[in-house]
């Protein structure tokens, strides 16, 4: 896991965007895994400016979202389909028909979840998955105690996640109780992962993900087993890392190509 401690959210966005662009380089049809939530918004804005500058092109690409609420119609402004179209697909130039979001508004949630995993495999897999992390260590909506090998399926949201997300709704009672989320096994199949986190409320989750034991108690810790993970965090989110000095040293000591 490559961890970079950044001075601010602009540096996070810039370094994370560098990595995303490098991870899709050469792909005629880049397959991007996309997260909702506040953490990657600056990264998406940075990627949009790279698209505008002609550094990267997603117009033939496909996007796969991590998750969706159960019970919100796709046109609901807080549905993740709506959010992904507004914050990612349109600014980055993805064609609407090539933006995939799990179906949380169907009688056959499990059948649709299985089709979702099959569609990712059919497109050749996700080239790079963008992630945030919940304050309880979740990635996607894989709440603590999710199976480390899980595939896309229905999950019950924790009360903490519903409270964290209540800011997007008029009241907590409107926050759905369930979601459909890519499983931890599905996320681990991505060829590369770029995770961004900001703020002191993410410090425990970041420390558990990077340095804690690999455990279902902190679902993000499964990423320790992935061979290509780039983590960009600010000082506050890095504040509980025991190995912060090593991460700073490694970032300041690039390999001399002549060696």
Binding site for ligand F6R (CB under 6 A): 35-39, 66-67, 132-134, 138-141
By beta-carbon proximity to ligand F6R, the closer residue of 181 and 244 is 181
Are 143 and 161 in contact by the 8 Å Cβ rule? The answer is yes
Catalytic residue list contains 67: yes
Among residues 122 and 167, whose Cβ is nearest to ligand F6R? 167
Strand, helix or coil for residue 194: strand
With beta carbons less than 8 A apart as the criterion, state whether 38 and 83 touch: no
Give me the least distance between CB of 171 and ligand F6R, in Å please: 18
CB closer to ligand F6R out of 191 and 202: 202
Q: Quick one: which H or E segment has residue 48?
A: helix 41-52
Catalytic: which of 23, 67, 68, 112?
A: 67
Q: Measure the CA–CA gap between 222 and 131, rounded to whole angstroms.
A: 13
* Least distance (Å) between residue 132 CB and ligand F6R: 3
Nearest distance from C-beta of residue 49 to ligand F6R, angstroms:
20
Q: Which residues are CB-neighbours of 25 under 8 A, at least 6 positions away?
A: none
Say whether 82 is catalytic: no
CB 161 within 8 A of CB 169: no
Q: Which is nearer to ligand F6R, 63 or 133 (CB)?
A: 133
Specify the residue for token string 């996607």: 140
Shortest separation between residue 90's beta carbon and ligand F6R, angstroms: 17
Please provide the size of the chain in residues: 259
In sequence order, the β-bridge partners of residue 130 are: 194
Say which of 136, 142, 165, 234 is annotated catalytic.
136
Residues acting as catalytic residues: 67, 136, 138, 143
């Amino acid at each position: 896991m490559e961890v970079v401690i950044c001075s601010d959210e602009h540096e996070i966005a810039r370094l994370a965007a560098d990595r995303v662009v490098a991870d899709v380089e050469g792909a005629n049809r880049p397959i991007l895994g996309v997260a909702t939530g506040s953490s990657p918004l600056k990264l998406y804005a940075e990627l949009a400016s790279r698209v505008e500058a002609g550094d990267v092109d997603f117009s033939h690409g496909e996007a796969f979202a991590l998750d969706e609420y159960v019970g919100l119609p796709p046109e609901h402004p807080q549905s993740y389909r709506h959010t992904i179209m507004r914050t990612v697909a349109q600014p980055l130039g993805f064609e609407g028909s090539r933006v995939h979001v799990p179906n949380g508004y169907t009688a056959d949630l499990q059948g649709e979840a299985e089709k979702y995993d099959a569609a990712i495999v059919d497109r050749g897999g996700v080239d790079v998955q963008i992630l945030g992390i919940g304050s309880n260590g979740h990635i996607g909506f894989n709440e603590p105690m999710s199976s480390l090998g899980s595939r896309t399926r229905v999950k019950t949201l924790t009360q903490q996640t519903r409270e964290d997300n209540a800011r997007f709704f008029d009241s907590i009672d409107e926050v759905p109780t369930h979601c459909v989320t890519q499983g931890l096994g599905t996320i681990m199949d991505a060829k590369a992962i770029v995770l961004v986190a900001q703020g002191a409320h993410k410090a425990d989750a970041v420390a558990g993900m990077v340095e804690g034991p690999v455990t279902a108690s902190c679902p993000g810790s499964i990423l320790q087993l992935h061979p290509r993970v780039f983590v960009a965090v600010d000082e506050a989110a890095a504040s509980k890392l025991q190995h912060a000095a090593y991460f700073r040293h490694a970032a300041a000591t690039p390999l001399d190509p002549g060696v």
